[in-house]
Structure 1
């Protein structure tokens, strides 16, 4: 039997990386042979799981060899995390040029207001439903924090959460609404604030409306500006296409790092919470399909076209990073106009996240309430929890840690001990993968339903079985 102790650590790391490079070369040949985008993502997912499992089985059982996993993953992060950073790089330019371009085509402020109101309303409504599902699953599985023991890592995490109470308590509805206002749009273009995405959306709306305001008075200037935006949009969409071509490689590297470092023993400690969480996530995904069906669209076709972006969201755990793919999925596969697609993807990354800001904090509150003698299944407690979760979901950043911040807001508002949330540290990454995929599904569902309600959906694109790949060149008007 192969014993890694017989080889030096450096040689083991080189072997791991050589195998990974060989598999990347195989995926590159797939791309050169024009394999479908979904096929390439599935291949990357399977190969990443296989190699990650092999690395875990070989090196994770011994304290001497475990650092080999850490070093190997640090090199693979160049591909995986590097890909996520490239996606995050194009988020703000994509949002800005797409929304301005869409408004220039709309030339109708009433339509813009209707799109915004319907999108935000749908996101908040689905978050309330998600919270109710989280409560139901917590009841069915009998989840409670009473009797759980804390390891050193969990205690440290609990202390950190307790120390973060100040920032959570500082959040109020008025201050949150004020944070949406882009006092410095150039700062927000860097994504410096949790609400930078919404701030850029608002700034882009102002730019678009200001431009349409001079359309009749200064038509030549308006035409020049519209042409400039069209050029900028074409360049940004080309950039999106180039980055999305790296998706299989990013998925492959991210999957290896996730699987190789997973602690199956820690997961078993809180398996009931993991199972309950995924049951809630699956049920909420069925709600999304039900909404699509109610809008008169085929839910199975919708689900199949969503797979690549959901797979990326699941592995990357970044709702914000998934925005470019979410926009491409809506416009190129689901027939949603660019304006609606960008509003839904942008707002969905920071408002009404069904997984991180809906299911998770609701389940956590139900678990923790009995530890302080509160019956979490009274009508008054559930009604208050649903209201707090829904309002607290506004402005939750679509990056790692967003669910924790949402939980802090809910637990502190409900006067529940936040430190107990640290008990879930061992299974947090595993659950966060599913939560992020549901967040993205909720955003795309909102865009699809709103587009259909306004009669804007291109049914020929939605019904097509030969929808273009997400990484194929985009066409702009």
Structure 2
């Protein structure tokens, strides 16, 4: 379980300008600024969601293509990551204790986050301050506890689902093939547990799964490296589609959500870091590359390889534990999507429709948020979790339609908080259990975020081009940069 930092590389001879331009953080920020500028220009030229122009169509294509690339890797990544993480428990001492501590701290932080959400909803009262012109609409998906439980039962090995809808031409139909992420998680968990029980006979399968996971991570690193391009398209398209008008009508609600997210990210998490005797500055500098990507991609699963990488290399969590805790967190640890947001949104809906909530209903919000976060399944959006909360409270599901207009804007902040928490919990659990590499945690953040080391433990990556992302995420590597 111990980890040791690798010897430092040769000094970085890049000039300050090149360092800045090759910084992942700078590239993301530059893409955000350019995307906003392109979106504002598009709106000035008359582009809207209903009347697209060449510029808006280009931005939308760039952004949607990037999200499509991330989603294409979701299913194989989830399956291999969960199977590998469960199988890695065989290498961990006190595995049951570590797993129990991880789940306990998931619940503790979710409880704190949902209480913050409830308090903000009662103090700010966003539903009573909603702008004019809002009309309730039908949610495009509905979550109930019964459907959630039924959804856990795999319909097939891959969790494949097919939806059919009328086509544009009368008498025609179109079908879309998708994946039920919850079912994929269940299948992967069962396969991982079965492989553990099979013992030595399953070793070839586990070795193959871990190798496949490395290949998938390598592909995802390539996708992550073009995140600034995706950021440019996503932000520019969002400005054109949603503009400031829709945000203004739900301004108090958006403010309440982002205040809650900020309190968790910049108050609750730092307090937990400090109470465990760790540096707050080192935590943020270590986790920030993953937070940035989460903000842009709006996908905890899409950010999973980078989250695991910074948790191991920057924060010093042993790989054998991080490879279990981080994938588990990416599918169930959702302080933003499953705690703060549904709490404030449920109170907003109740206030908008003039419904008084009692103590039992507030208690139900807490329970749903703490135990129902798996319904979000690490993918973009939190509508399923919100409808699950509303249906549990008996509130009108039409209220979800009020909030869909600005959901992508809120989802960026929600996912960033999700990912920050997914790296935090393994860090504090490792610290409490005495297995955290504090020398690595406190080491300077040097080098490019995606710079390759000279090779992984087996030397497979030796000879790769400098700057190519690396699949292996062992904790015995030197820390990567976090700007």
TM-score category (smaller protein): 0.7 to 0.9
Paired with 1:363 and 1:453, the residues of 2 have a C-alpha distance of: 32
Question: Is contact 2:82–2:188 with CA below 8 Å preserved after alignment?
Answer: yes
| SS of 1:144 mapped into structure 2 | helix
Label 1:457 to 1:77 Cα distance change in 2 as closer, same or farther (>3 A): farther
Q: Gaps spanning 5+ residues in structure 2: where?
A: 1-13, 162-176, 459-483
2:287 is matched with 306
Deviation, structure 1 residue 441: 1.3
Paired with 1:330 and 1:142, the residues of 2 have a C-alpha distance of: 37
Paired with 1:145 and 1:327, the residues of 2 have a C-alpha distance of: 41
1:315 is matched with 296
1:274 is matched with 254
Label 1:296 to 1:381 Cα distance change in 2 as closer, same or farther (>3 A): same
Which of 12, 31, 41 is the aligned partner of 2:25?
41
User: What does the per-residue CA deviation read over 1:19-72, in whole Å, with 9 as the maximum and x for residues that have no partner?
Assistant: xxxxxxxxxxx99x97479823323322442x3333333331454788886543
1:263 is matched with 243
Which of 225, 229, 233 is the aligned partner of 1:245?
225
Question: Is contact 1:135–1:366 with CA below 8 Å preserved after alignment?
Answer: yes
2:395 is matched with 416
1:396 is matched with 376
Give the helix-richer structure, 1 or 2: 1
User: What does the per-residue CA deviation read over 1:61-110, in whole Å, with 9 as the maximum and x for residues that have no partner?
Assistant: 45478888654344345544433343444445455555655666653587
Label 1:36 to 1:86 Cα distance change in 2 as closer, same or farther (>3 A): farther
Label 1:130 to 1:103 Cα distance change in 2 as closer, same or farther (>3 A): closer
User: Residues 4-43 of structure 1 correspond to what in structure 2 (within 5 A)?
Assistant: 35=19, 39-43=23-27
Label 1:232 to 1:113 Cα distance change in 2 as closer, same or farther (>3 A): same
Label 1:268 to 1:184 Cα distance change in 2 as closer, same or farther (>3 A): same
1:328 is matched with 309
User: What does the per-residue CA deviation read over 1:156-188, in whole Å, with 9 as the maximum and x for residues that have no partner?
Assistant: xx1235xx44x536335x546x44xx6754447
Answer yes or no: is 1:72 the counterpart of 2:55: yes
Question: Is contact 1:320–1:399 with CA below 8 Å preserved after alignment?
Answer: yes
1:140 is matched with 123
2:95 is matched with 112
Deviation, structure 1 residue 228: 4.8
Label 1:408 to 1:225 Cα distance change in 2 as closer, same or farther (>3 A): closer
Q: CA RMSD in A?
A: 3.5
Q: Gaps spanning 5+ residues in structure 1: where?
A: 1-29
Aligned length: 426
Answer yes or no: is 1:192 the counterpart of 2:173: no
Question: Is contact 2:326–2:426 with CA below 8 Å preserved after alignment?
Answer: yes
Answer yes or no: is 1:283 the counterpart of 2:259: no
Deviation, structure 1 residue 192: 1.3
Question: Is contact 1:171–1:409 with CA below 8 Å preserved after alignment?
Answer: no
Deviation, structure 1 residue 462: 1.4
Question: Is contact 2:330–2:378 with CA below 8 Å preserved after alignment?
Answer: yes
Answer yes or no: is 1:407 the counterpart of 2:386: yes
Answer yes or no: is 1:461 the counterpart of 2:440: yes
Deviation, structure 1 residue 430: 1.6
Answer yes or no: is 1:427 the counterpart of 2:406: yes
1:13 is matched with none
Label 1:84 to 1:464 Cα distance change in 2 as closer, same or farther (>3 A): farther
Give the TM-score normalised by the residue count of structure 1. 0.77
Deviation, structure 1 residue 470: 4.0
Q: Which moved more, 1:188-197 or 1:302-311?
A: 188-197
Paired with 1:147 and 1:301, the residues of 2 have a C-alpha distance of: 40
Label 1:59 to 1:37 Cα distance change in 2 as closer, same or farther (>3 A): closer
User: What does the per-residue CA deviation read over 1:374-401, in whole Å, with 9 as the maximum and x for residues that have no partner?
Assistant: 433x543322321122222233232233
Label 1:393 to 1:311 Cα distance change in 2 as closer, same or farther (>3 A): same
User: What does the per-residue CA deviation read over 1:193-225, in whole Å, with 9 as the maximum and x for residues that have no partner?
Assistant: 1314532541453255146x22xxx7xx95x66
Deviation, structure 1 residue 241: 3.6
1:170 is matched with 146
Paired with 2:368 and 2:52, the residues of 1 have a C-alpha distance of: 41
Paired with 2:290 and 2:258, the residues of 1 have a C-alpha distance of: 18
2:43 is matched with 60
2:5 is matched with none
